Amino acid sequence: MPKKYIVIAKTIGRKWFLILVGIIIIVALYNPIAAIWMSGITLVLFILSYVPKLFFKNKLHKFLKKFYKIEDELIARKFNKRNEVIRDILFEISQNQEKKKWLITFINKQYVFYHQETIEKFKELYNKGFSEKEILDNLKDYKVTTKAEIKTIKDSLIKLNRLSEREISVKEHREKQRFA
pLDDT of 1 above 70:
no
Helices 72-79 and 51-64 cross at an angle (nearest 10°) of 120
- Residue-level pLDDT at 56: 85
pLDDT digit string, tens, across residues 60-85: 889 999 999 999 999 999 999 899 98
How large is the average pLDDT for residues 108-127?
92
- Residue-level pLDDT at 175: 81
Mean pLDDT, the chain, whole residue set: 86
- Residue-level pLDDT at 55: 84
Confidence of residue 103 (pLDDT cuts 50, 70, 90): very high
- Can you say whether residue 80 is alpha, beta or left, with left for phi > 0 and alpha for psi between -120 and 50 degrees? left
Confidence of residue 180 (pLDDT cuts 50, 70, 90): low
pLDDT digit string, tens, across residues 124-140: 999 888 889 999 999 99
Buried b (16+ CB within 10 A) or exposed e, 36-54: eebeeebeeeeeeeeeeee
13-17, 109-113, 134-138: least confidently modelled range: 13-17
pLDDT digit string, tens, across residues 17-73: 788 788 888 888 888 888 888 888 878 877 887 787 778 888 888 999 999 999 999
For the chain, give every domain's residue range: 4-49, 68-173
Give CA separation, 41 vs 37, 48, 72, 91, 108, in Å: 6, 10, 36, 32, 45
